[in-house]
Structure 1
Amino acid sequence: MKAALPLLLLLAACAPAPARPAVQSFEGSARVLLTVQSYRLTYTEDPATHAIRGTLENRSSGDAFRAEGTLLPGPDGDILTADVSAGDVPRVNATVFGFGIKDLPLKAGAQLSGTIRGDLLRGSLRVNGFRSALTMTRVR
């Protein structure tokens, strides 16, 4: 048993350390209604569950949004789907002539979807029902 202990210690030292999720970043733009908006997506992936968590930053306005979703392997590349939320933002409560708006967030959430092939992410950003084509490239 004493002879096996050094061998076990040697094997334990050679075992790979658990991999820490690597941070992925993509930058690009989308035409939202009439203007081109610049975006940066930064996320980490849990390889066991394919879940992603990160932020989508609108670099044109300076706003940052929380992004959570999945990154699943597909036949033509990795398929990214994420819900984008503004988190705790100010809300509007107003009435005009008896008709009102209650608890309406000033910043809307969105859905981000696309396919990653190599260093290119092509997809769409859907905000308030309007879909905008989105193209991003990986930042190294």
Structure 2
Amino acid sequence: MQVWEGSARVLLREQNYRLTFTVEPVGHRLSGTLDNRSSGDRFSVTGTLLPVEVGAELTAQISAGESPKLSASILGLGVSGLSLKADALLSGRVTGRRFTGTLRVGGLSSPITLRQTAP
């Protein structure tokens, strides 16, 4: 199991994250969780950690899963089943014990930096 911690500035606010995952060595598939330590939210993570000449490329889908849904109507117009939390994409490069990449949420990209914690 790998644990990475760091931060990203999302919508003008600094957010602290902890990414925890395991990697299947044959297919390089990863699965785990991303905790937003600033808000207390937890998301599931699936993707790949592919070795490259220097380090590895990480690409992962972040899913809100079974987050609360909004159902509302005003004057006969409304929404039903709208997730209150957005899915996201995490991508970037691992070099040594440092991950530098992008967290893309709802069409907005934010730079993110994570450091691997001691095993």
Q: What TM-score do you get using the length of structure 1 for normalisation?
A: 0.81
Aligned residues: CA RMSD = 0.9
Aligned position for 1:83: 61
Give the C-alpha shift of residue 87 in structure 1: 1.1
What's the % identity of the aligned pairs?
A: 50
- Higher RCO by CA contacts (8 Å cutoff, separation 6 or greater): 2
Paired residues in the alignment total 118
Q: How does 1:3-82 map to 2 (within 5 A)?
A: 23-82=1-60
Equivalent residue for 1:127?
Answer: 105
- Residue 76 of structure 1 and its aligned partner are, at CA, apart by 3.4
Structure 2 unaligned residues grouped into runs of 5+:
none
Greater Cα shift, 37-46 or 86-95: 86-95
3-state SS of 1:54 partner: strand
Residue identity opposite 1:117 in structure 2: T
* Bigger share in helix: 1
- Structure 2: how far apart are the matches of 1:56 and 1:89? 14
Aligned twin of 2:86: 108
Larger Rg: 1
CA displacement at 1:103 relative to structure 2: 1.1
Q: Distance in 1 between matches of 2:81 and 2:94?
A: 36
